[in-house]
Amino acid sequence: MQHRVLLITGASSGIGAATARAASREGYKLVLAARSREKLTTLAEELGPENVLAIGCDVTSMDDQQAMVEQAMERFGRIDAVFANAGRGGSPGGFSGADHEAWREMILTNIYGVGLTLQATLPALRRSRGHVLLTGSAAGRATIPGSMYGATKWAVSGIGYNLREELRGSGIRVTLIEPGMVNTPFFDEPPEHALEDRDIANAVTYALGQPEHVDVNEILIRPTPPLE
């Protein structure tokens, strides 16, 4: 485990940062990518710069993603696991009245960005017979009135299922991480009865920690309902 390398997109806060901390405790070398270079630098200093490569990356840019992989390979020589976690929330108003420009940025990040991460990292993962993890959502399993965000997470579920079939026989495992409500920077005010980002990080490290013959396809995590 000491020399395994985990790449995380959307690593500067929330689930990504919590996963970086959890994986660091497990001995992973880390490639942390996000738009916020300042937050990444602070996180890298916390975890030990000798074990962390922090990279500014817009996941909607293939140039950025390819540069991310090139830097990771130059620094560590391999990539054993990729957590495609970068994502954006939606805006209120449903299909009738939501900000359509916000839709554009969310769809590009939540769907197109995931696809670019996969395409950029799969050559390295094929060499390592590695592991792909995707941040889906419980919203990708349910019907939510007017939710374009939910629709993007349905798409992520589809990406995970289809990727698994493409990679069948390659030795690469694919895991969908599907949280319910999580207290992350998506929210201006902390939601009630929500999971914590470290709860999702624990699920990621659980999937990563399984032996090679165990392929954890999906982990659906919801907060325990409140007492009545």
Q: Confidence band (pLDDT; 50, 70, 90) for 190?
A: low
Reported as a pLDDT band with limits 50, 70 and 90, residue 36 is confident
Report the pLDDT value the prediction gives residue 71, as an integer from 0 to 100: 98
The enclosing H or E element of 106 equals helix 100-107
For residue 114, pLDDT over 50 is answered with yes
- Residue 212: which of 163, 152, 172, 164 has the closest Cα? 172
**Predicted local confidence at residue 1, as pLDDT:** 44
Could you tell me the pLDDT band of residue 70, with boundaries at 50, 70 and 90? very high
pLDDT of residue 192: 75
Lowest mean pLDDT among 1-10, 17-26, 44-53, 214-223: 1-10
Tell me what percent of the residues of the chain surpass a pLDDT of 90.
Answer: 87
Catalytic residue flag (residue 149) = yes
DSSP 8-state code for residue 166: H
Q: Categorize the per-residue pLDDT at 78 as very low, low, confident or very high, splitting at 50, 70 and 90.
A: very high
CA distances from 196 to 34, 41, 179, 221 (A): 20, 23, 10, 11
CATH of region 5-221, choose from 3.40.50.10860, 3.40.50.1000, 3.10.290.20, 3.40.50.720: 3.40.50.720
Q: Is the pLDDT of residue 199 over 80?
A: yes
* In the predicted structure, residue 188 carries a pLDDT above the cut 60: no
Which positions ≥6 away from 4 have C-beta within 8 Å?
Answer: 27, 28, 29, 80, 81
Contact indicator for 67, 90 with CB cutoff of 8 Å: no
Does the pLDDT value for residue 182 go beyond 90?
no
Question: Please, what is the average pLDDT of the chain?
Answer: 93
Name the catalytic one among 28, 112, 149, 161. 149
Q: What is the pLDDT of residue 186?
A: 59
